[in-house]
């Protein structure tokens, strides 16, 4: 009897010590206002709305950057935009500048070292064959990879090949190429990349049900096919228009909405699979986006209001370009129906994952665990500052102080900071630097020291680039 009791207690202890599986789902160019649970009125997102009801919805979560490559670099390294390796979209002009290096420590490497099975499925953007091979996924901590290596190839939702690890895997789609990066648009559309990614993710979870795993599911939807936009005037490339097929809308509008609803269905399938396997209480699933919404499919922004109450879209340093939806789901650990105003950003996932994996985060990260917010236990640390920069069209910087005061500087390091009070001006319409000079000065001083020097990403200021950011898109 005593031996049976001892065995029972040992089993309970092992179960209690199980480290959670981690699934990080990243949409591409999905806006804060694109989901029903964040105010969307037109596009149907029932699965993500249910995920929010069963979990926690963050109302002030930020992407690492306002465009894809640096945002993903922030996520992977836990370093903010002024410290991370990749700080812009260099593309094929300078592929090495858009690649992680051998000595970079990613959250995937960190979790791999903690005994997690790691996989990247979908879009990478931080390394490629050739001059950027130091950043290939399996050199950066992923045991498995299936998807797109560079973001131009990822524009095409019906590619004629995808990468499985370092090997090309042919697909039956027939593509009209544009350039030599794999970009283009399909004239014979049989296999939709994100459909393949969803299936691959479900198989990965099934294969690894008995061990801790980290799945980075990096979707391409609802990013536009920019090359198709240029050639055909419609970059919303999707297999069908779903529930919007009969709507009297232009094709790009139908396609944009259909991509988001299709994305929603993928997430629903994953949550259902976890429940089917009995893994839901052992798995933290988070859903978010890499930056604000795009207008590159030629769809009508006014129809969908993807930025919600904020100003600007992708490539803006106002909140429309960087504040994104973030939903966390972990039945039994996260109480259902919760909402939090905790201010966090993509770089915080590194510290969060470290705590959950039981492995100390390395020193020097710009990362704070939000586990106390998720579980309601312990004291939640907060950032004094969050930081962003942008290198296209003249260097610009932005910082958020105490979750309230947004400062933006462009045109030169000596230019005044435009200051916005997000508590009273969520759309960032009124510059209040004159009313709060001490706060503007504090942010301005911080911007002078926020970044480390990078040979690949030197600031090139442009006179006049300090003008007001785009107004709110409705």
CA distance 108 to 141: 5
CB count within 10 Å of CB 19 equals 16
Q: What is the CATH number of domain 18-383?
A: 3.40.720.10
173: nearest Cα among 192, 150, 154: 192
Q: What is the model's pLDDT at position 17? A: 60
| CATH class entry, domain 386-449 | alpha beta
Per-residue pLDDT tens over the stretch 158-201? 999 999 999 999 999 999 999 888 899 999 999 999 999 999 99
213-218 vs 21-27, strand pairing mode: parallel
Q: What is the model's pLDDT at position 162? A: 98
CA 462 to centroid of chain Cα atoms: 28
- 3-state SS assignment for residue 385: strand
CA 471 to centroid of chain Cα atoms: 23
Q: What is the model's pLDDT at position 256? A: 98
The dihedral formed by the CA atoms of 230, 235, 239 and 244, expressed in degrees to the nearest 10:
-130
What separation in angstroms does the CA of 3 have from each of 6, 7, 9, 10?
5, 6, 10, 10
Q: Which spans in 277-365 are helix H?
A: 301-304, 319-322, 348-357
Q: What is the model's pLDDT at position 439? A: 98
Q: What is the model's pLDDT at position 246? A: 98
CA distance 433 to 421: 9
pLDDT in tens, the chain (474 residues): 444 343 333 333 333 468 999 999 999 999 999 999 999 999 999 999 999 999 999 999 999 999 999 999 999 999 999 999 999 999 778 999 999 999 999 999 999 999 999 999 999 999 999 989 999 999 999 999 999 999 999 999 999 999 999 999 999 999 999 988 889 999 999 999 999 999 999 999 999 999 999 999 999 999 999 999 999 999 999 999 999 999 999 999 999 999 999 999 999 999 999 999 999 999 999 999 999 999 999 999 999 999 999 999 999 999 999 999 999 999 999 999 999 999 999 999 999 999 999 999 999 999 999 999 999 999 999 999 999 999 999 999 999 999 999 999 999 999 999 999 999 999 999 999 999 999 999 999 999 999 999 999 999 999 865 554 444 443
What separation in angstroms does the CA of 406 have from each of 181, 439, 443?
37, 10, 8
Q: What is the model's pLDDT at position 180? A: 86
Per-residue pLDDT tens over the stretch 276-306? 999 999 999 999 999 999 999 999 999 999 9
Phi-psi region of 333 (alpha: psi -120 to 50; beta: other; left: phi over 0): alpha
CA 242 to centroid of chain Cα atoms: 25
Residue pair 425/435 in contact by the 8 Å Cβ criterion: no
Structure tokens, 34: 């694109």
**How much is the pTM?**
0.95
Q: Which spans in 78-192 are helix H?
A: 107-113, 151-154
What separation in angstroms does the CA of 239 have from each of 185, 190, 249, 381?
13, 8, 17, 44
Per-residue pLDDT tens over the stretch 396-436? 999 999 999 999 999 999 999 999 999 999 999 999 999 99
Q: What residue ranges do the domains of the chain occupy? A: 18-383, 386-449
């Amino acid at each position: 009897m005593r031996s049976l009791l001892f065995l029972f207690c040992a089993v309970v202890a092992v179960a209690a010590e199980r480290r959670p599986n981690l699934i990080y789902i990243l949409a591409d160019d999905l806006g804060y206002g694109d989901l029903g649970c964040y105010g969307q009125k037109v596009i149907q997102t029932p699965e993500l709305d249910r995920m929010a009801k069963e979990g926690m919805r963050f109302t002030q979560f930020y992407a690492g950057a306002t465009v894809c490559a640096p945002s993903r670099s922030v996520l992977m390294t836990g370093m903010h935009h002024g410290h991370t390796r990749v700080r812009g979209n260099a593309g094929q002009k300078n592929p090495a500048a858009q690649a992680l290096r051998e000595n970079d420590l990613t959250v995937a490497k960190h979790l791999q070292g903690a005994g997690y099975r790691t996989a990247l499925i979908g879009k990478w953007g931080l390394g490629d064959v050739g001059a950027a091979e130091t950043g290939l996924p399996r050199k950066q901590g992923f045991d498995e990879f299936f998807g797109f290596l560079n973001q131009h190839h990822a524009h095409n939702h019906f590619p004629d090949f995808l990468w499985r690890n370092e090997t090309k895997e042919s697909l039956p789609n027939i593509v009209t190429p544009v350039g030599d990066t794999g970009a283009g648009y399909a004239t014979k559309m049989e296999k939709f990349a994100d459909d393949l990614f969803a299936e691959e993710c479900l198989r990965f979870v099934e294969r690894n049900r008995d061990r801790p795993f980290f799945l980075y599911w990096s979707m391409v939807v609802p990013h536009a096919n920019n090359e198709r936009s240029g050639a055909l005037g419609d970059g919303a490339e999707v297999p069908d228009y779903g529930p919007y097929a009969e709507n009297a809308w232009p094709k790009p509008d139908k396609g944009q909405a259909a991509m988001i609803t299709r994305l929603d269905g993928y997430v629903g399938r994953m949550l259902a699979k976890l429940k089917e396997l009995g893994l839901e209480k052992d798995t933290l699933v988070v859903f978010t986006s890499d930056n604000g919404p795009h207008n590159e499919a030629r769809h009508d922004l006014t129809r969908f209001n993807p930025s919600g109450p904020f100003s600007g879209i992708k490539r803006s340093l106002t909140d429309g370009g960087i504040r994104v939806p973030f939903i966390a789901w972990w039945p039994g650990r996260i109480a259902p129906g919760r909402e939090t105003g905790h201010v966090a950003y993509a770089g915080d996932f590194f510290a969060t994952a470290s705590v959950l994996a039981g492995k100390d985060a390395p020193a020097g990260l710009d990362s704070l665990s939000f586990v106390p917010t998720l579980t309601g236990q312990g004291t939640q640390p907060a950032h004094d500052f969050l930081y962003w920069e942008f290198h296209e069209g003249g260097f610009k910087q932005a910082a958020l102080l105490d979750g309230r005061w947004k400062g933006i500087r462009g045109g030169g390091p000596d230019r005044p900071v435009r200051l916005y009070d997000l508590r009273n001006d969520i759309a960032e319409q009124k510059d209040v630097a004159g009313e709060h000079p001490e706060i503007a000065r504090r942010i301005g001083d911080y911007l002078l020291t926020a970044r480390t020097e990078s040979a690949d990403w030197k600031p090139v200021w442009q006179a006049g680039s300090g003008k007001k950011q785009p107004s709110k898109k409705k």
